[in-house]
């Protein structure tokens, strides 16, 4: 992957500054035409996080092809996380299109389902056919642990509960993980306290993650940038990156995160705005999930 001479506008967030104090910092709040982050320090790595794609049909393919082309301009990206709502109406063709188009990134792509990925069957069966072994899963990369969680309750979007199957998976898996390794969670429904559309039992998920060195949770569903500290961790949501959906908070920028993870548990999040050249539909503000 190479760098663009002029990178898109970005906002920077820094999480995990001090595990002892549980400190976090929101830095440089205004978007600006910034250059690509500096060369990676020894042991650090870079990855992309995007949520709420809402692929609705073939007319969305050029939009996402352009998005992937922009993502490919970021140097030294190790992998990409897609944090739910890959499809807008749960169509198998939309799920397959996202898998095919994001395959063009040339790096591993890890996904979790969102409620809209369940719209057709009412459950994760169609999603799991396209993305096998991508409901509840974990992987490691350069000393970091990444945990993907299915927090959907069928196609329900509000007042939801994380399933007993996911909670049982956490009960069985967390004791086998490294308690000292910096850990990132990625899941569709928000985990931060007080965030709109948070599952009723989100605290049960966080209680099961408590033994780990949690540094960040990447969440979607609520199309807005929120940052909620929890000890040394930062629980986040981000705006969407969709052709057919808008942000819940009424803001215009859509985009994704380019994250730099350090061996000591620090994590820098750069928000990168996506400004497609392809014509976009004129959409009303979003009201639902």
Residue 99: count other Cβ atoms within 10 Å of its Cβ: 15
User: Checking DSSP bridges between strand 9-18 and strand 267-273, what pairing results, if any?
Assistant: antiparallel
**Domain segments of the chain as ranges:** 42-273
The rounded distance, in Å, linking the Cα atoms of 226 and 84 is: 17
Q: Please, which pLDDT band fits residue 134 given cuts at 50, 70 and 90?
A: very high
- Is residue 81 pLDDT above 90, yes or no? yes
Q: Which residues contact 186 (CB under 8 A, 6 or more apart)?
A: 49, 81, 83, 110, 112, 146, 147, 148, 149, 217, 218, 219
- In contact, 282 and 245? CB cutoff 8 Å: no
pLDDT of amino acid 9: 60
Mean model confidence pLDDT for the chain: 88
pLDDT given for residue 32 in this prediction: 31
pLDDT in tens, 29-54: 333 334 455 689 899 999 999 999 99
Neighbouring C-alpha atoms within 13 Å toward the C-beta of 259: 26
Residue bearing the bigger pLDDT, 208 or 278: 208
Give the model's pLDDT for residue 77: 98
Q: How confident is the model at residue 110 (pLDDT cuts 50, 70, 90)?
A: very high
Outline where DSSP puts E strands in 56-181.
77-83, 109-112, 137-141, 144-149
Tell me which CATH code domain 42-273 carries: 3.60.21.10
Paired strand residues for 234: 216, 229
Provide the pLDDT confidence category of residue 6 given band limits of 50, 70 and 90: very low
* Residue 141 structure tokens: 């990369």
Q: Which residue has the higher pLDDT, 147 or 5?
A: 147
Lowest-confidence pick of 204-208, 212-216, 279-283: 279-283
Residue with tokens 């859509």: 254
Greater pLDDT, 68 or 39: 68
Evaluate if residue 182 carries a pLDDT over 90.
yes
Least confident of 5-14, 30-39, 80-89, 256-265: 30-39
Least confident of 6-20, 90-104, 123-137, 263-277: 6-20
């Amino acid at each position: 992957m190479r760098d663009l001479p002029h990178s898109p506008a970005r906002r920077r967030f820094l999480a995990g500054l001090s595990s002892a104090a549980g400190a976090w910092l929101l830095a440089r709040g205004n978007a600006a035409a910034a250059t690509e982050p500096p060369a990676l320090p020894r042991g650090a790595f870079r990855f992309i996080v995007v949520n709420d794609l809402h692929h609705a049909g073939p007319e969305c393919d050029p939009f996402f092809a352009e998005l992937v082309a922009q993502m490919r301009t970021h140097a030294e990206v190790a992998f990409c996380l897609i944090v739910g709502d890959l499809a807008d109406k749960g169509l198998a063709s939309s799920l397959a299109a996202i898998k095919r188009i994001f395959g063009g990134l040339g790096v591993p792509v890890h996904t979790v389902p969102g409620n809209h990925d369940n719209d057709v069957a009412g459950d994760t069966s169609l999603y799991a056919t396209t993305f096998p072994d991508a409901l509840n899963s974990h992987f490691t990369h350069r000393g970091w642990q990444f945990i993907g969680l299915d927090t959907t309750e069928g196609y329900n979007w509000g007042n939801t509960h994380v399933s007993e199957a996911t909670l049982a998976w956490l009960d069985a898996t967390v004791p086998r993980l490294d308690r000292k390794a910096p850990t990132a969670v990625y899941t569709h429904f928000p985990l931060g306290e007080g965030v709109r559309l948070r599952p009723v039992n989100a605290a049960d998920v966080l209680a099961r993650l408590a033994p780990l060195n949690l540094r960040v949770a990447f969440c979607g569903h609520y199309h807005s940038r929120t940052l909620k500290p929890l000890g040394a961790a930062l629980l986040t949501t981000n705006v969407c990156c969709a052709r057919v959906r808008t942000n819940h908070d009424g803001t215009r920028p859509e985009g994704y995160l380019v994250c730099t993870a350090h061996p000591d548990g620090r994590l820098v999040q750069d928000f990168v705005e996506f400004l497609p050249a392809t014509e976009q539909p004129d959409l009303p503000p979003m009201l639902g999930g």
